[in-house]
Structure 1
Amino acid sequence: MSGTARRRGIAHLAAAVAAALLALPSGPARADEGGISFWLPGIFGSLAAAPLQPGFSLTSIYYHTTVTAGGGVARAREIGAGRLPVTVAANVEASLTGKADLAIVIPSYTFASPVLGGQATIGLMTVTGRNATSIDAFLNATALVGPFAISGSRFYGIGEADTGVGDLYPQFTLRWNAGVHNTMAYVTGDIPVGSYDPRSIANLGIGHGAIDGGFGYTYFNPATGHEFSAVAGLTYNFENPDTQYRNGVDFHLDWGASQFVTRQLQLGLVGYLYQQLSCDSGAGDRVGCFESRVMSVGAQIGYVVPMGEIQGYLNLKAYREFEAEHRPEGWNVWLTLALTPAAAPPPATAPGRRLALK
């Protein structure tokens, strides 16, 4: 397989990964307010910083996630009640389950003319789908009133779901290419117009604005088919006006490594790290600092589909989470279809030109 053919396939392969910047809930027990962070780990992957084909592109993603969490909280408080001291000791054992099925559509446009020496792309991501969350809790409490002890227990179950549209996510990227090395800078944000209820444990919108930016790198060698990509960024969250709650600053790192086994078939690994760097704050913060973290690794398979004047790319990747702290962990699956302009074939030398060169 020639280097030109490989790069032509990569330009369309990258469209599915590099164009998608997302911020969606995967469950309601993260440290961020209501369990919803702006950044959805795993949105970037292989070939994130590789050049794209100029023109309009359309990326569609089906995303599914299932997460669970459990834990206990013990609290004791002594209050005065007349002359008798009252001590209440309560133990709460809770478990949480969250599921989301989302359809993500990302129209984008890549400019042919260089911007700051690089390739510029603008896009807007929209989201529709369903997010469902349930919490089961068992409360066991003992009250000491003077010399007397009163005990009791109770089970609580809460289940809610939100079906509708999410927020809008504008995005802008710049890419630079130097042989096998590719770099990228991006900025994206949240326009909070999606379905959101501050009283609900399941939402598609996050209820507040956010801005996120970062840098990415892709190594790709057309001769060997080896590829590695990594994208790191920071999220700054604005205060939620409905709850007076501000999420802390988040750091995220998405990576992918793959091998082109044929001109069209790609196999590899993917992963991510998500770490909250600063505490939540605001008048509505009732949980304190409560910084969160999660890691994940998974596998991917991609296939480039020539479609005449349109190039198709189908990608399937799956992640398994671990090392979660102050948030649930589980697994998620991404099925991506990207449609981009087909790369122009190399120009043929006209007979008249060949004669003129003799």
Structure 2
Amino acid sequence: MTRALYPWHSAAHCPACATAAHLRGACEGGGEPLRSRPDNAPPHRRRALAFGLAMLAALTGQSATVLGGEGGTSHVIPGANATLADLPPTTPGVFFKPMFLRYQGEASAQIPTAAGIVANVHATVETLILGGGYTVQPTLLGGAHYSVAAFLPYSWMDISADSEALGGIGVQSRVSGFGDLTVVPVMLAWKPSDWQYDFLLPIYAPTGSYELGRLGNPGLNYWTFDPIVGAAYSGAKTGLNAAIHLGYAMNTENPDTDYRSGDLLHVDASVQQIFPLGSGYLNVGAEGWYFQQVTGDSGSGARLGDFEGRTAGIGPVIGYIQPLGQQKLVLELKWLPELETRNRLNGDYLWLKAVYKF
């Protein structure tokens, strides 16, 4: 029996990400080694490459004005989903997925927060996310691999802004604490061939540190339900990988501020090429995203009105897959700059992810 190269073979979503495993052939063990792109790519590979490039072009070719919502943010974060390290697993067993995220950004426009309306915001946030999950042995629903996962973030925040309530006087918040727990009770992955089809249901629970009147809060103090569907292609012999996931995030009201952030439609996509390197495999590529708020913010606390927006961006991804006997380790680094934003901060996301399959 052959073994999967990836430690999981698809995983979850972040701060609720899980894991991913793609490639068959050498990937699912014992087959011929992965090769870099052949000189004469077969038609199915050219179609997959066109599919991936078209996704990235569609995601980033539109004007990028960002996501609204209370605090100018949401539970759904660019870079949490879409690449090899983020696909739902298709091999049984336990996986562990630690992640680190650093975000630095600023905004001159007004933004609603737990401390009231603020402007000229400067923020640096570093978050450590620990989590993992389990993929069961039997398949269901026509061959679907079923997994569950959970992720818990801990953030260090340094935020400064000018407070409207204080007449424009500058305020600062340096706080650390646990963020909102992400539970993924349903992860389904069908992989009949080089194509994989996914359904995920991440649920973000308001368990994180939150104080009314505080500028920086690791928790958002409301629930988010984010059903996601996706498709991914993994060329067993060529090493080409492309993925796209579409989600619709629905938020409940923040009871402390009487503020309900609008629903969010989000698309994440990536294209990656895998090359043999040393005793493992190097992968390089790009990830793009497009987030569109489709309903306005509401509630008595929504003093800036609908506060709708959208965001888009693209950035490089590099990773390494290292087989370790019967286990496997995947490392991934990506830099995702926001192209242009409105109604929130404009900055850069830096992700470092690891996935270890037991």
Superposition TM-score tier, normalisation by shorter sequence: 0.7 to 0.9
Please give the per-residue CA displacement for 1:144-201, whole angstroms capped at 9, x wherever unaligned.
xxxxxxxxxx862111122011111110210001211111001011211110112112
Check 1:237–1:137 CA distance in 2 against 1; reply closer, same or farther (3 A cut): closer
Check 1:72–1:252 CA distance in 2 against 1; reply closer, same or farther (3 A cut): closer
2:145 match: 119
CA contact (8 A) 1:225 1:260 kept: yes
CA contact (8 A) 2:125 2:157 kept: yes
Matched, 1:235 2:273: no
Q: How many angstroms apart in 2 are the aligned matches of 1:234 and 1:274?
A: 10
1:65 match: 103
* 1:1-358 equivalences in 2 (<5 Å): 8-9=4-5, 11-12=6-7, 14-15=9-10, 18-22=11-15, 31-47=68-84, 48-49=86-87, 51-71=89-109, 94-117=119-142, 118-136=144-162, 156-171=169-184, 172-262=186-276, 264-341=281-358
Structure 1 residues without counterparts, runs of 5 or longer:
74-91, 140-153, 342-358
CA contact (8 A) 1:22 1:125 kept: yes
CA contact (8 A) 2:7 2:327 kept: no
Please give the per-residue CA displacement for 1:26-80, whole angstroms capped at 9, x wherever unaligned.
xxx962112331211210122344643211110000110101112489xxxxxxx
Please give the per-residue CA displacement for 1:118-156, whole angstroms capped at 9, x wherever unaligned.
0011011101121221114799xxxxxxxxxxxxxx862
Q: How many angstroms apart in 2 are the aligned matches of 1:106 and 1:277?
A: 30
CA contact (8 A) 1:58 1:106 kept: yes
When you count strand as a share of all residues, which structure comes out higher? 1
Check 1:13–1:324 CA distance in 2 against 1; reply closer, same or farther (3 A cut): farther
- Range that drifts further, 172-181 or 304-313: 304-313
Identity %: 28
Q: CA deviation at 1:323?
A: 2.6
Amino acid at match of 1:21: C
Amino acid at match of 2:172: G
Which protein is bigger by CA-based radius of gyration? Answer: 1
Q: How many angstroms apart in 1 are the aligned matches of 2:110 and 2:128?
A: 34
Please give the per-residue CA displacement for 1:91-123, whole angstroms capped at 9, x wherever unaligned.
x99421111111001120011110212001101
User: What's the TM-score, normalizing by structure 1?
Assistant: 0.77
Q: CA deviation at 1:300?
A: 0.9
User: What's the TM-score, normalizing by structure 2?
Assistant: 0.77
Amino acid at match of 2:14: L
* Count of residue pairs the alignment pairs up: 297
Give the secondary structure class of the aligned counterpart of 1:97: strand
- Range that drifts further, 228-237 or 256-265: 256-265
Q: How many angstroms apart in 2 are the aligned matches of 1:282 and 1:72?
A: 18
Q: CA RMSD in A?
A: 2.5
CA contact (8 A) 2:72 2:343 kept: no
Q: Give the number of the structure with larger relative contact order, counting CA–CA contacts within 8 Å between residues 6 or more apart.
A: 2
Q: How many angstroms apart in 1 are the aligned matches of 2:149 and 2:307?
A: 34
Structure 2 residues without counterparts, runs of 5 or longer:
18-65, 112-116
CA contact (8 A) 1:20 1:59 kept: no
